Structure 1
Amino acid sequence: MLIDLHADILYRMNKEKQDFYDENSLLHASYAHLQEGEVKFQVFATFIDPILRGEQQLLAVIDSLDRFHQKIKRKGIVEPVLTVSDVQRIRQTQGILGALLSLEGADCLAGHASVLSMLYALGVRLIGLTWNHGNSLADGILEPRGGGITGFGREVIEQMQQLGMVIDVSHASDRVVEDVVQIVSRPIIASHSNARAVYPAKRNLEDEHMKLIAATGGVIGVTFVPEFIADKNEVMIEDLLRHLLHMLRVVGADAIALGSDFDGITTTMADLRDSRDYPVLIERLHHEIGHETTKKIMGENIFRVLTNTLPK
């Protein structure tokens, strides 16, 4: 069972007018590519440029979610995951791709908690608190002041837990990670982040913050973004493995997952170009870390997080 915690399919569909179901689609994670890569669950992120504010931001989010419901969702083919029952049913049913909707940066809430309930009703089950900058909930990793969770952010986190939504701290400031773990009683994730100790990209996580996430029962999704892996012209799976092996030493096999960021990146790894190449990665992981650990990273760990977080 393979689960990808983050891809910007909806964003690229809109930006480049790509068709998810077109066999000649340029999407990294088109339907055909996901099938060939044997992906069972895919997180479809909604990313909206933060230059949009207020009503424009919210309308763009609604448009993105509608894109999923109108152009991707198909009964018996791609079905939304809303509950633990959905996860279990789709996991056991051949031929169905489970789709989880996420929000990459919660700017659209803009201080209004009622928007969260609307997003939940539209099928969103994972939310990244911010995207690099500061918003009404929290500061991002590129925000110069490096602040933490706001009072409104705390309110949103508590409401997310009541609803059964997964909290994502990728793109958040270091202090936000520290704040969030003090608030939550359920697992949190960093959907697409690597290890700062291996490569010092600011978007990567310090060891201490990976440990905090793991202590909640959560996971870190190893990401395929070349700029977060190594300073090389051609980044390879062997470079990604350095992050993964380091994370295994720091947090263990139960706290690691995959978060590709496919379709949110313009340059890909040389030997992991799109979702079709997952079998290459899996074969390499089997060789390096064994079948049982590979199974956990491919999906079992996320299955646990979803089971412990989503509504029944």
Structure 2
Amino acid sequence: MSKVFDAHCDALLKLWEDRTLRFARGDERLQVSLPEMKRGNVHIQVFDVWVPTEHKGARAYRSAMEMIKIFHQQVAVPPVTAIYSRGDLEQCVLKEKKGAILFIEGGHPLGHDLGNLHELYRMGVRGIGLTWNIRNQLADGCLQPSPRGLTLFGRQVVREMNRLGMMVDVSHLAEPGFWEVLELSSTPVIASHSNTRKLCDHPRNLTDQQIRALIEKDSVMGLTFVDMFVTSEKRTVWIDDLLRHLDHVCALGGLDHVAFGSDFDGTVERFGDLSSAGEYQRLVNALLKHFKEDEVKKIMFENWLRVFQNVLQ
């Protein structure tokens, strides 16, 4: 079974919304849980804090802290290890432990206060997706009409994240902000859960020009399992549909720069043959029919491992 590194899931949101759920116990309502990670051989999982956008100001920050508390109380407990540093990551790999990395999806919990970034870092957050779909204090999201780039505060946040060794995530970011981040960031960035716009023309997906720019910066994009970002057709989506996106990225020279960010627990619709983390080995087996074993290892684990090692301190 190939090891899996998944760069995006929303299990924390479900655990926060329904306090009867237990990550360690597992539940059919959770696509990512400890039993599912074991079944799918998911060794490292990024857990995102997504605060509903109607939560503003101090309320958004409090909601983020509540989800972070759930991460520490339910998720990052033995046999799962919290990953805060490059050393933690390497120890997880060396000792074959399961690891959990904490991200924020959408920078609105930061408010306008750089001190909030420092406190989130102190609480274990090691990556931030700068926006969700709409405008916030950092930048415009991909669904914002007539989008602009980074705000002055957004530029300050990117620089400070670089200094702290945090992952800058450009998924959901509008194109003007995407290009500013790539120019501004002194470290590789990631697109944790985005597909290719060439095959599915959705603003959440990346153009060929954007993908080539990520490759040039030694960055990595994670293909996501959300049906509307895989195909514009209204039908059940399958692994083979996702593999077309993978083939396209590889054709652009991206074999060392593509991986997966499932977005499990962040969407209602599910693939016909990939509906939870426990089914990840189905994807591995499909890849092995098209790629060499060492290439599959890159896509499933090593590409994410490299870029996280390059950024975390």
Q: TM-score range by the shorter chain?
A: over 0.9
Residue 254 of structure 1 corresponds to: 256
Kindly report which structure 2 residues correspond to 1:66-215, keeping only aligned pairs within 5 A, or say none: 66-75=69-78, 77-94=79-96, 96-215=97-216
For the residue of structure 2 that corresponds to 1:58, the secondary structure is helix
CA contact (8 A) 2:27 2:33 kept: no
CA contact (8 A) 2:16 2:66 kept: no
Quick one: distance in 2 between partners of 1:147 and 1:168?
Answer: 17
Kindly report which structure 2 residues correspond to 1:201-280, keeping only aligned pairs within 5 A, or say none: 201-230=202-231, 231-280=233-282
Residue 26 of structure 1 corresponds to: 29
- Superposed CA deviations along residues 209-255 of structure 1, whole A, max 9, x for unmatched, are 11112221110000000111011311101111111100111142111
Quick one: distance in 2 between partners of 1:249 and 1:112?
Answer: 42
Q: 1:251–1:151: structure 2 CA closer, same or farther, 3 Å change rule?
A: farther
Q: 1:180–1:24: structure 2 CA closer, same or farther, 3 Å change rule?
A: closer
Quick one: distance in 1 between partners of 2:66 and 2:241?
Answer: 37
Kindly report which structure 2 residues correspond to 1:279-298, keeping only aligned pairs within 5 A, or say none: 279-298=281-300
- Superposed CA deviations along residues 175-202 of structure 1, whole A, max 9, x for unmatched, are 1111101101211000000000001122
Q: Normalized against structure 1, the TM-score is what?
A: 0.97
Q: Provide the aligned length of Structure 1 versus Structure 2.
A: 309
Quick one: distance in 1 between partners of 2:66 and 2:16?
Answer: 10
Amino acid at match of 2:123: L
CA contact (8 A) 2:6 2:42 kept: yes
Determine whether 1:65 maps to 2:51. no
Find 1:53's aligned residue among 45, 53, 56.
56
How many angstroms does 1:13 deviate by? 1.3
How many angstroms does 1:263 deviate by? 0.5
- Superposed CA deviations along residues 55-89 of structure 1, whole A, max 9, x for unmatched, are 100000000000111122214x1111011110111
Quick one: distance in 2 between partners of 1:178 and 1:266?
Answer: 31
How many angstroms does 1:290 deviate by? 1.9
CA contact (8 A) 2:127 2:167 kept: yes
How many angstroms does 1:25 deviate by? 4.4
Deviating more after overlay: 127-136 vs 10-19:
10-19
Residue 5 of structure 2 corresponds to: 3
How many angstroms does 1:45 deviate by? 0.4
For the residue of structure 2 that corresponds to 1:289, the secondary structure is coil
Amino acid at match of 1:109: L
How many angstroms does 1:256 deviate by? 0.2
RMSD between superposed Cα atoms in Å:
1.0
Quick one: distance in 2 between partners of 1:213 and 1:238?
Answer: 24
Quick one: distance in 1 between partners of 2:146 and 2:234?
Answer: 30
Amino acid at match of 1:273: S
CA contact (8 A) 1:199 1:229 kept: yes
CA contact (8 A) 1:19 1:25 kept: no
For the residue of structure 2 that corresponds to 1:6, the secondary structure is coil
For the residue of structure 2 that corresponds to 1:288, the secondary structure is coil
For the residue of structure 1 that corresponds to 2:290, the secondary structure is helix
Amino acid at match of 1:88: E
Quick one: distance in 2 between partners of 1:124 and 1:71?
Answer: 16
Q: Normalized against structure 2, the TM-score is what?
A: 0.96
- Superposed CA deviations along residues 113-150 of structure 1, whole A, max 9, x for unmatched, are 11110010000001000001111111100110211011
Identity across the alignment (%): 36
Deviating more after overlay: 245-254 vs 219-228:
245-254
Quick one: distance in 2 between partners of 1:266 and 1:16?
Answer: 16
Quick one: distance in 1 between partners of 2:40 and 2:263?
Answer: 15
